Structure formats: structure tokens, C-alpha cells
Amino acid sequence: MNEHDSKAKARVERAADALLLKVGGTWHLTETLPELDEVLPRVAGRCRVRVVPADLVEWDSSLPLFLLRGRSWCQGQEAPLDIEALPGALQRLFQLISESEASSPAATARR
């Protein structure tokens, strides 16, 4: 695999019951990352978004942060975000960051 192949990637494919958000490559905060607005389509109505790994090499907190933005997009669409196909360690990191965000002063002020 060359350096170009390992960059962070995200793309969407339509499946019968969901949008598949495929994430792959190497995710690092110091690198250029995919823009969520360029990845997720502008769709109306509820459509489950299932996040699946596709040649996912490694990640730091940049991937869970990307997924948090994805969750916000899903909430705006009234669509569930399903991360169960992701590695357990990534799911746990996403959960920790989600909990941290929920308990932040800014989140508390919005309540």
C-alpha cells in the first residue's frame, strides 16, 4: 500500500435498508480528512446510516470526531446512526468522546 492509499477515506453507498458510510485508510488529526458534507448525500426523510470499515488501517480521535458530525447529520435527518460494524476499540472511543461532549459546559448550557 502506498502513502496515497492509506489516507483517510469516507464514501457512501446505498443499500436496500440503509446508507452505508464506509470509512477506511489512516485517520490522523494532523492529516487532511474527508469533509462530511461532501460524503453524505442530501436526502430527505429517515434513512438508517450504517458505518462500516473498508480497509480501515488505523485511527486516532479524528475518526470518532468525524462520526460525531455524522451523528449530528443523522439527527437532523431523524435517522439512526449504526456503528456496530466498527471495531470494538473504535466504538468505545466514540462512546467516550460522545459522553465527554454531552457533559461539556456548552452541552449543559443548551439543555
Predicted local distance difference test score (pLDDT) of residue 50: 95
- Only one residue has cell 480521535, namely 61
Angle at 58 between CA 76 and CA 80, to 5 degrees: 20
Predicted local distance difference test score (pLDDT) of residue 110: 53
Q: Is the pLDDT of residue 5 over 80?
A: no
- Distance in angstroms (rounded) separating the CA atoms of residues 108 and 74: 21
Structure confidence by residue, pLDDT tens digits, 69-111: 999 999 888 889 999 999 999 999 999 998 987 776 655 555 5
- Paired sense of beta strands 9-14 and 19-27, if any: antiparallel
Predicted local distance difference test score (pLDDT) of residue 106: 59
Structure confidence by residue, pLDDT tens digits, 13-72: 988 889 999 999 999 999 999 998 888 876 656 788 999 999 999 999 999 999 999 999
Q: What is the pTM of this model?
A: 0.83
- Distance in angstroms (rounded) separating the CA atoms of residues 37 and 14: 16
